[in-house]
Amino acid sequence: ELDAVSGRGGLLHPMPHGTFRVDEAMLRDLKAGVQGEHASNLGGLIAHDLVAGSGKPAFIVDPVVVDEVAERVKITGVKAIRRKVISHALNQIATAHRYAREQGTAYEALNLIVAHLGGGISIGAHAHGRCIDTNNALDGEGPFTPQRSGSLPQRQFMDLCFSGRYTQGELKQLIKGRGGLIDLLGTADLRELERRYLAGEGEVVSVLDAMVYQIAK
């Protein structure tokens, strides 16, 4: 009964926003994890499996590697490190289109700042139909989140890396998976934390106010 299936786009090579057909090259890259492992890599694979043998197409839309930024966005003060552009592009762009429709205009006519708020948080600057800058939440940029550390003071983090307190794997978990609210408050359940916030629990109030401030900043 289906005409086509679309899945979430994963950590592929950088590409502009849009809709892309799942082909053999994409399947190979998703299986290999060319830019790393993430649940979004499964989207194209699942879409392909759902249409297997039917002759119907499978697509991905606005993958997490949408890259439409200027070269200046990627240059850092360390020659060996270049910024990667990885974000929640699918939700950011869909939300921008929805807002544009609500305002009786088009995404391509607007300048917008869009914040995706989830286990990871990415905030993008969108100019006339292109995302021209965003934090790489996957690798620890931006505000801290329910599960991620966010940007950290570099020297203090370097000292932590060589302190012997954590293994490399544990440090990766602090950046993504066990950092943020999980490390600070022991849970990423915002329903529970909202209840404790409204009850005036001091540490929860302090931490959530800090997260909201960093998102807004």
87-108 in b/e form (b: 16+ CB < 10 A) is bbbbbbbbbbeeebeeeeeebe
Under a CB-based contact definition with an 8 Å cutoff, are residues 8 and 90 in contact? yes
Under a CB-based contact definition with an 8 Å cutoff, are residues 88 and 17 in contact? no
Query: pLDDT at position 38, please?
Result: 87
Residues near 73 by Cβ (< 8 Å), separated by ≥ 6? Answer: 83, 85, 132, 133
Closest CA to 177 of 129, 211, 144: 144
Query: pLDDT at position 22, please?
Result: 97
In the chain, which stretches have pLDDT less than 50?
none
Separation of alpha carbons 139 and 159, rounded Å: 19
Separation of alpha carbons 189 and 204, rounded Å: 12
The Cβ of residue 30 has, within 10 Å, a number of other Cβ atoms equal to 24
Q: What is the CA radius of gyration of the chain?
A: 19
Query: pLDDT at position 87, please?
Result: 95
Amino acid in position 14 = P
Separation of alpha carbons 88 and 134, rounded Å: 9
Query: pLDDT at position 1, please?
Result: 82
Query: pLDDT at position 2, please?
Result: 87
Q: Which residue has the tokens 């139909």?
A: 129
Query: pLDDT at position 37, please?
Result: 86
